[in-house]
Structure 1
């Protein structure tokens, strides 16, 4: 069987693009690689692209992608995303989020030695900053 290399893109869907994109840029520190009236795309440390779509903005008909068509897609409901950070950076992130008015929902220590903090983005998606190794076997 051919082998998968990694997850390249992760998509979330939001009610209002402007506050969501401001959150991911100003609070999470992500760099925008593309912005339009229905999408903000962010480079996540050269490892992944986070796609922030306006809900309904890609649901009706195919989406043009550089001369090609991408099938329609959309989603509802809140999802969970985990961003990996170092153990040293986790406490700094905690202070940074609180300073930006982000409510920390949980601070968790895992049996393998990893630690996580949980909070929500403006659309209620559950975000996790996970200090590893120590969360999953091999991670």
Structure 2
């Protein structure tokens, strides 16, 4: 059987791309890769891509020179987690506080990892996780 080798893209759906861009660049320090009127793509750690789609803007097939992208969309508060180094957790807590982003939850996991939870500008639940949360991380 062929095997999957990773998750390349994670998508969240937002109401306002400019507001979302400000949150993800200013608060999380992500670097945009590309964008158009429908979406923003951010580099996450040089290995993954976070896609932010304007809610309702991808309900029709997109035709590109190389092929097509089928319709998709989402609503409601979605969850995404970002990996951080264990020794950077205090700096992230400070950074979130400096941007008036409330930490809604904290968890100490049985394998030794830690998580903090907060919301983005579209109410998605974001998590910063240190190694030791999963058997593979």
TM-score (ref. length: structure 2): 0.96
Q: CA deviation at 1:64?
A: 2.9
Residue in 2 that maps onto 1:29: 29
| Corresponding residue of 2:93 | 94
After superposition, residues 1-139 of structure 1 pair within 5 angstroms as 1-59=1-59, 61-132=60-131, 134-139=132-137
Structure 1 gaps, min length 5: none
1:65–1:21 Cα change, 3 Å: farther
* Structure 1 position 35, deviation (Å): 1.5
| C-alpha distance 82-111 of structure 1, shift in aligned 2 (>3 A) | same
State how far apart, in whole Å, the 1-side matches of 2:4 and 2:69 are.
21
Question: Which runs of 4 or more aligned residues in structure 1 lie more than 2 Å from their structure 2 counterparts after TM superposition?
Answer: 64-67
CA RMSD of aligned residues (A): 1.0
Name the SS for the 1:105 alignment partner.
strand
Q: Provide the rounded CA distance (Å) in 1 between the counterparts of 2:47 and 2:97.
A: 26
Instruction: Render the CA deviation track for 1:45-104: whole Å, top value 9, x for unaligned.
Output: 111110000000001x21134442101111111111000001100110000001011011
Q: 1:76 to 1:24 in 2, by over 3 A?
A: same
- Please report how far the alpha carbon of residue 22 of structure 1 lies from its aligned counterpart in structure 2 after TM superposition: 0.9
* Matched length: 137
Distance change >3 Å, CA 92–CA 44, structure 1 → 2 = same
Deviations along 1:91-134, whole A, 9 cap, x unmatched?
100000010110110122111110111000010100000011x1
